[in-house]
Amino acid sequence: MMISFVIGKLFRAATVLLGVSFLTFIIGHSSGDPVLLMVRGDATPQQKEDLRHSLGLDRPVLEQYATYVERAVHGDLGISYRQRVPVSRLISLRLPYSLELAGAAFSAALILGFALGVIAALNRGRLIDHLITALSISSQVVPAFWLGLVLVLLFAVYWQVLPVFGSGGLQYLLLPAITLALPTLGRIARLARGGMLDVLGSDYIRTARAKGLSERSVLLHHAAKNALLPLMTQAGLELGDMVGSAFLVETVFAWPGIGRMVVNAVLQRDFLVVQGCVLVIAAGFVLINLTVDLLYARVDPRVRAR
Amino acid sequence: MALLAVLPAGCGRDPNRPVVIASVSDVSSLDPHLLDVNHPTGSVIWSLFDSLVRRDADGVDLPRLATSWERRDDLTWRFHLRRGVKFQDGSSFTAEDVKFSVDRMGMSPFNTLTQLWPQTTLKEARVIDEYTVDLVTEKPSVTLLYWLEEAFIVPKAYYSTHDTAYVNTHPLGSGPYRLVEWIPGDHVTLMANPDYFNGAPALKDVLFNVVPDVSTRLNALATGDIDLALELTADSANRANTPHSHAIESVGLRKIHFGISQKGNQLALRDARVRQAMNYAIDVHTMIKTLMHGSTTALASVVNAPNADPTLPPYSYQPERARQLLAAAGYAQGFDLDINFSPMWGQDKDVSETVAGYLNAVGIRTHLHQDEWSDFRRKLSDQGFDGIFFAGWAALISPPVELVIFTCGQEDNASGYCDPQYDDLVQRAAAEYDDGKRRELINAAQRVVWDRAFWIFLWHGPVYAGISSRIDYELRPDDYVEIYLAKPKR
């Protein structure tokens, strides 16, 4: 049962990746000509044509796509038009930074967000509940580039306890991770609060209390576990998002992640880099969703039975 | 807060850290024959490699790998090479390396991706002896030395035995610095070449760092984390004045203007009186004072000093005269004009909106149109604009190169002007070795550009940077950073 469940999911994952790569390929190729951005000055039409030919850009798009997929399966994502470095090397240089940043921001957001949500739910209607709700809403409306700059001004420029930008240690990671984590933290806190309130009002909690279980046991073993369930899907999406859309945070902190790379590649029509990044980000999403599905199946037997 | 207090502070307080240069973007390649922009790619290439001739900040040709040169006839130049120069792998530099490098520049893809090869008009290099080489051009060329300054010499043995992908990331030159590492998108680390023919540079370790956000560059300068914050803007440059650093600026060589499309559907622009009217309608001096904080000067010619014709004044602000010229051209009721801009030369939006205001005031109905850079760039090379377009041109000192922008069919001629008489002046100037006669031809061509108002002339694009108190360095107006000329302070 579990094995066919996993195989089915994997098959769908492969289909999704193929679809994503095809769409990116088509959209990329219809959005502009990289050759025009590469050549400079006096290049003649013939020279541009030669270059287009040497890059394989003069062949039918579908044929180019077929070649691309064939090579990608073997791990060859092509060579960047602009920097002439293999795309797989560019990604392998930048992806660890993205994962480090997203990993730190995500864990902080999930743990703190859930804790704050639960605290708010348990203190429903009191001052602390209002404070947490206010924090969770404001964290979602403050733009990342502004928050990042304010944090830098305070911690790096005025108090000088943290560096302005860079990478390579906890002190470099803190500010960008906080900036990236806050909006997610806010969303998680709100979801956790709502989920916890639903659960607390349900029959089995009353039963648990009636059985004479300690309040601590009721909250930890019965309530929190069930309140976590709806959070898992949202959390998975948030994690995927953090890798792909950290562009603003990466820009403000000069963090060498994949988000900045993909945006620059789009602006320069460096298709193969865009293609490679999108593929890797999509694979990340698929992997996360798969993990969430498996976790669900583990935590909630009803999913397996279906 | 307690946690933060125990963390080590940023690297800014370490007096032995490398000198850090922060720029918006990353180098595009470390292959010297693929050089595409002055900074940062050019700055790094200039540090790793040598050319035969060095171009100083004023555009003067100085010896580098060549100690002297002479022109033997209209097409042949003889270069005497420096002896005892070593590449960074210990091999010796000879005339064979010059020939190999020249041949390499003339091959695909190098001759397609950069304009170096066609601009040099080189035909071949002939080795005369180990330290003498003749360069032969297709036609007489007064700009040969200018372009040779960007024609870098690579060691034949290394570059003929490794493929282009490898040498792109593993450069080997004879320059003042050698490569430690290049992490694309993040930084290039260089270290001084102790065996450099001109002596090891004063700064030992240098880092070219990508810091895309201008506020981040300024903050890092204020905390002492970086030493050179480049590509600042007119309204931010002031913030580079801190206890650890100060702002530096230079008037710059790039000529900021609006190109005026001759190919689009706005036919009024083909009338010289309309183009003059637009120049008279705009108060450039006030714009410089307000938008540019007075940091630059008004533009009068397509050619930079010292070759600009001093008798050409900038257009003055005369809105009444502008209206008269429009009326004389049959546009007393005005006409519809597209104003195109893209975020490339800084303050594009502010400048375009201000110009729109001035043109509205004399009755021209303007429509602002913003393009993403790659679309804008495509329109530049396709002559695909309607109306006028905000642009910068040629941060260099070399009149024949600067004047080509209006010659018929030339790739940079985004406006689509085509005038055989003007082309004749420019072509004769590029082939005229007599200084006096060349000067006359150049002045005549500039006069045509001014009289017939081929551009809306704005100003010289200023260059702003912030520099830390750790180093001494004088900014070049053409954006190249010659970090090997910088000196540590104190």
What is the tens place of the pLDDT at every residue in B240-286? 999 989 999 888 899 999 999 999 899 999 999 999 999 999 999 99
Distance in Å from the first CA to the final CA of chain B: 36
Structure tokens at A171: 């002190």
Q: Are the CB atoms for B120 and B111 separated by under 8 Å?
A: no
- d(CA B339, CA B368) in angstroms, rounded, equals 5
Confidence at residue B255, expressed as pLDDT on a 0 to 100 scale = 95
Q: Are the CB atoms for B49 and B41 separated by under 8 Å?
A: no
- d(CA B391, CA B410) in angstroms, rounded, equals 16
Minimal-distance CA residue of chain B relative to A85? B165
Structure tokens at B83: 């002896």
Tens-place pLDDT, residues B226-238: 999 999 988 899 9
- d(CA B305, CA B311) in angstroms, rounded, equals 12
pTM of the model: 0.88
Minimal-distance CA residue of chain A relative to B393? A41
Q: What is the mean pLDDT of residues B17-37?
A: 93
Structure tokens at B254: 């790039």
Does the beta carbon of B216 lie under 8 angstroms from any beta carbon of chain A?
yes
Tens-place pLDDT, residues B86-113: 999 999 999 999 999 999 999 988 888 8
Does the beta carbon of A256 lie under 8 angstroms from any beta carbon of chain B?
yes
* 3-state secondary structure (DSSP) of residue B142: coil
Check CB contact under 8 Å for B112 and A47.
yes
Task: Pick from B163, B182, B213 the residue to mutate for testing the A interface (most A CBs within 10 Å).
Answer: B213
The alpha-carbon gap from A262 to the nearest alpha carbon of chain B, in Å, equals 11
Confidence at residue A40, expressed as pLDDT on a 0 to 100 scale = 60
**Res A233 pLDDT > 90:** no
Distance of CA B445 to the CA centre of its chain: 22
Does the beta carbon of B209 lie under 8 angstroms from any beta carbon of chain A?
yes
Backbone φ and ψ for B207, nearest 5 degrees, come out as -125, 125
Q: What is the mean pLDDT of residues B144-162?
A: 95
Does the beta carbon of A94 lie under 8 angstroms from any beta carbon of chain B?
yes
In sequence order, the 6+-apart residues with CB closer than 8 A to the CB of A275 are A21, A24, A25, A28, A68, A77, A78, A87
Does the beta carbon of A190 lie under 8 angstroms from any beta carbon of chain B?
no
Cβ neighbour number for residue A18 with a 10 Å cutoff: 11
Distance of CA A99 to the CA centre of its chain: 9
Check CB contact under 8 Å for A37 and B374.
yes
Does the beta carbon of A48 lie under 8 angstroms from any beta carbon of chain B?
yes
Picking from B8, B216, B372, the nearest residue to A164 by CB comes out as B216
Residue type, A64: Q
Structure tokens at B11: 């690297």
Confidence at residue B440, expressed as pLDDT on a 0 to 100 scale = 96
E strand or H helix at B429, and its extent? helix B420-431
Q: With bands split at pLDDT 50, 70 and 90, how would you rate the model's confidence at B13? A: low
Tens-place pLDDT, residues B313-363: 999 999 999 999 999 999 999 999 999 999 888 789 999 999 999 999 999
Residues of B in contact with A84 (CB under 8 A): 29, 31, 34, 164-165, 168
Sheet holding B245-260, edge to edge: B177-183, B187-192, B205-210, B19-23, B228-229, B455-468, B245-260, B388-393, B336-341, B365-370
- d(CA B333, CA A222) in angstroms, rounded, equals 79
**Res B10 pLDDT > 70:** no
* CA proximity to B274, closest of B434, B412, B452, B406: B452
Does the beta carbon of A33 lie under 8 angstroms from any beta carbon of chain B?
yes
Concatenated DSSP letters of B212-230: --HHHHHHHHHTTS-SEE-
Q: Is the peptide bond before B155 cis (omega within 30 degrees of 0)?
A: no
Q: Are the CB atoms for B178 and B90 separated by under 8 Å?
A: no
- d(CA A13, CA A287) in angstroms, rounded, equals 8
- Mean pLDDT over all residues of chain A? 87
Residue type, B119: Q
